[in-house]
């Protein structure tokens, strides 16, 4: 086959059919967990008005300054491929009046996001994210519930050694004093900071705290701690959150380095962290953003949520040797010899598929030997060969591809019922079911041709 000259863009990946079962596994886990917590699914556009992200995420963040993919078509406004999920989902809740339907509103989503970053393990330019948002409650028990949902997913996925780190970054009332303290501290050593952190010093000094530069990290070790500057309301909120987490037997570490990278966060911030995927060890992160809805609508409404990168979740599961739900392979391959047998094979496949059986037959024009090689390659559980002799007798031997055991079944309109019984008896290896199969076969006509259509 010719070599393709145009390849996928840097920082993206293809998910080929042989790997899809891993994605199906994690998407099933996250959706079932969210629904168990009574979250409902929501879907929003892939791109939004650029102003939405500038106002919500923050014009001083790395996301807005360096990482957004922004486009403009003739006659249109400027649009940006979503770099994260929260802003678009909150916009949708406001615009569609969902917040008027009673609170709390609890929604979840599985989406693709786009950031122009340096690709590395666990970090792509197009990545996929599971997220949940809860709007309409300021109570710290809501924070604990959202964290509990994230932990439920991690536990269900079978991951080990994942630590929950929590912090409080205060609110607009108490944060200014903390920001001033940070500026005073870092200004005294600004000449030692990296270029990026020197830019952050005036606009967003909290981001210096989680800078990955060894020099900046060392300087940040002795920086003022945000929990020492919390107002009474924020301090009480954080203490109650810790009480609720303890009541739910959820272990946590208070980590004052957790500040999150987006401007809309207030009070609670948290991350679930692993060391199994290198530097990009945050499997899940989130927190409160009580001011975001007010910023976008003019009407205050507390809210919170989290995002979980599916690539990072899958990578962590792979590194820990967690088993994924294996894909469903072909249940039966119906090989045929001759045109009339091929028609019968196609008819039987159609009937089997209507009953939920994964069935295949030849659609390439292969000889019998090549058909059987293909059946083996696709891991078919059973196979059957239909030729002139089988058409004349109205029966064919169905072979268990694992054991080699053969069972004769009628190849008429009763075939799908008989084969379903055969599959169940082999799956459970039950004498009772084996007797049931014998009973079914004895009740079925042995040579009745298929009804409907015209098969000579």
Q: Give whole-number Cα distances, 47 to 52, 70, 95, 312, in Å.
A: 10, 9, 16, 23
Whole-structure pTM value:
0.87
- Which of 135-149, 214-228, 353-367 has the weakest average pLDDT? 214-228
Rounded CA separation 327/167 (Å) = 40
Tokens of 387: 């030729």
Give me the mean pLDDT over the 345-367 stretch. 96
How would residue 63 be classed by pLDDT, with cut points 50, 70 and 90? confident
pLDDT digits (tens, 9 = 90+) for 397-432: 999 999 999 999 999 999 999 999 998 887 776 555
User: Has residue 454 got a pLDDT over 60?
Assistant: no
* Domain 332-443 annotated CATH 3.40.50.970: no
Top-confidence residue, 63 or 147: 147
User: Has residue 265 got a pLDDT over 60?
Assistant: yes
Spatial CB neighbours of 391, under 8 Å, sequence gap ≥ 6: 340, 341, 344, 411
Helices 415-428, 431-443: axis angle to 10 degrees equals 170
Rounded CA separation 405/395 (Å) = 16
Q: Give whole-number Cα distances, 11 to 3, 14, 126, 245, in Å.
A: 21, 11, 7, 37
Give me the mean pLDDT over the 60-74 stretch. 83
Give me the mean pLDDT over the 94-104 stretch. 94
pLDDT digits (tens, 9 = 90+) for 188-221: 988 899 988 988 888 888 889 878 888 998 999 9
How would residue 438 be classed by pLDDT, with cut points 50, 70 and 90? low
Rounded CA separation 306/269 (Å) = 9
User: Has residue 451 got a pLDDT over 60?
Assistant: no
pLDDT computed for residue 439 by the predictor: 63
| Cis omega (within 30 of 0) for bond into 260 | no
pLDDT computed for residue 322 by the predictor: 94
β-pair type (69-72, 40-41): unpaired
pLDDT computed for residue 77 by the predictor: 82
What 3 state SS string does 81-111 have? Answer: ECCCCHHHHHHHHHHCCHHHHCCCEEEEEEE
CB 126 within 8 Å of CB 226: no
Inter-residue long-range contacts of 398-402, CB under 8 Å, 24+ positions, other chains counted: 398/332, 398/422, 400/426, 401/375, 401/376
pLDDT computed for residue 75 by the predictor: 76
- Which of 46-50, 144-148, 198-202, 346-350 has the weakest average pLDDT? 198-202
pLDDT digits (tens, 9 = 90+) for 142-174: 999 999 999 999 999 999 999 999 999 999 999
Tokens of 401: 């591809």
Environment class of residue 27 by beta-carbon count within 10 Å: exposed (0-12), middle (13-18) or buried (19+)? middle
- Which of 36-45, 52-61, 334-343, 363-372 has the weakest average pLDDT? 52-61
Give me the mean pLDDT over the 81-108 stretch. 95
Rounded CA separation 68/116 (Å) = 6
User: Has residue 447 got a pLDDT over 60?
Assistant: no
Say how many C-beta atoms besides its own lie within 10 A of residue 293's C-beta. Answer: 23
CB 99 within 8 Å of CB 105: yes
Annotated domain spans of the chain: 17-170+250-319, 332-443
Give me the mean pLDDT over the 438-454 stretch. 53
CB 85 within 8 Å of CB 79: no
pLDDT computed for residue 442 by the predictor: 60
User: Among 107, 77, 79, which Cα is nearest to 92's?
Assistant: 107
Tokens of 310: 């599916």
The continuous run of DSSP H or E covering 386 comes out as strand 382-386
Q: What are the DSSP calls for 59-87, one per residue?
A: TTSHIIIII-EEEE-TTS-EEEE-SSSHH
- Per CATH, the homologous superfamily of domain 17-170+250-319 is Bira Bifunctional Protein; Domain 2 (3.30.930.10)
CA atoms lying within 13 Å on the CB side of residue 51: 4
């Amino acid at each position: 086959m010719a070599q393709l000259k145009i390849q996928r863009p840097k920082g993206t990946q293809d998910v080929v059919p042989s790997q899809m079962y891993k994605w199906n596994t994690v998407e099933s886990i996250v959706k079932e967990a969210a629904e168990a917590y009574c979250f409902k699914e929501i879907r929003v556009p892939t791109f939004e008005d650029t102003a939405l992200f500038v106002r919500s995420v923050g014009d001083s963040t790395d996301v807005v300054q360096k990482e957004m993919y922004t486009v403009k078509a003739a006659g249109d406004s400027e649009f940006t491929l979503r770099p994260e999920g929260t802003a678009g989902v909150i916009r949708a809740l406001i615009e569609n009046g969902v917040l008027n339907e009673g609170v709390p509103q609890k929604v979840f989503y599985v989406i693709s996001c786009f950031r122009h970053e340096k690709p590395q393990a666990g970090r792509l330019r197009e990545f996929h994210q599971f997220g949940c948002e809860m709007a309409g409650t300021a109570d710290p028990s809501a924070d604990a519930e959202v964290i509990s949902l994230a932990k439920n997913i991690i536990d269900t996925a079978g991951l080990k050694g994942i630590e929950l780190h929590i912090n409080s970054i205060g609110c607009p009332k108490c944060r200014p004093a903390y920001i001033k303290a940070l500026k005073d501290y870092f200004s005294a050593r600004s000449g030692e900071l990296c270029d990026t952190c020197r830019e952050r010093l005036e606009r967003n000094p909290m981001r210096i705290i989680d800078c990955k530069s060894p020099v900046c990290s060392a300087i940040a070790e002795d920086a003022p701690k945000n929990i020492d500057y919390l107002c009474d309301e924020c301090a009480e909120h954080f203490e109650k959150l810790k009480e609720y987490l303890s009541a739910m037997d959820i272990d946590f570490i208070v980590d004052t380095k957790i500040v999150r990278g987006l401007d809309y966060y207030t009070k609670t911030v948290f991350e679930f962290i692993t060391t199994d995927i290198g530097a990009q060890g945050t499997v899940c992160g989130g927190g409160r953003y009580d001011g975001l809805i007010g910023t976008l609508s003019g009407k205050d409404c507390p809210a919170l949520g989290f995002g979980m990168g599916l690539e990072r979740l899958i990578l962590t599961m792979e590194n820990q040797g967690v088993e994924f739900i294996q894909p469903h392979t072909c249940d039966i391959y119906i090989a045929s010899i001759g045109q009339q047998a091929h028609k019968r094979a196609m008819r039987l496949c159609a009937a089997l598929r209507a009953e939920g059986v994964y069935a295949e037959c030849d659609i390439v024009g292969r000889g019998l030997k090549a058909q059987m090689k293909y059946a083996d390659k696709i891991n078919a559980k059973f196979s059957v060969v239909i030729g002139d002799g089988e058409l004349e007798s109205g029966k064919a031997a169905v072979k268990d591809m694992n054991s080699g055991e053969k069972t004769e079944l009628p190849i008429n309109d009763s075939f799908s019922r008989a084969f379903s019984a055969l599959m169940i008896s082999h799956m459970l290896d039950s004498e009772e079911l084996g007797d049931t199969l014998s009973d079914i076969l004895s009740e079925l006509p042995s040579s009745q041709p298929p009804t409907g259509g015209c098969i000579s």
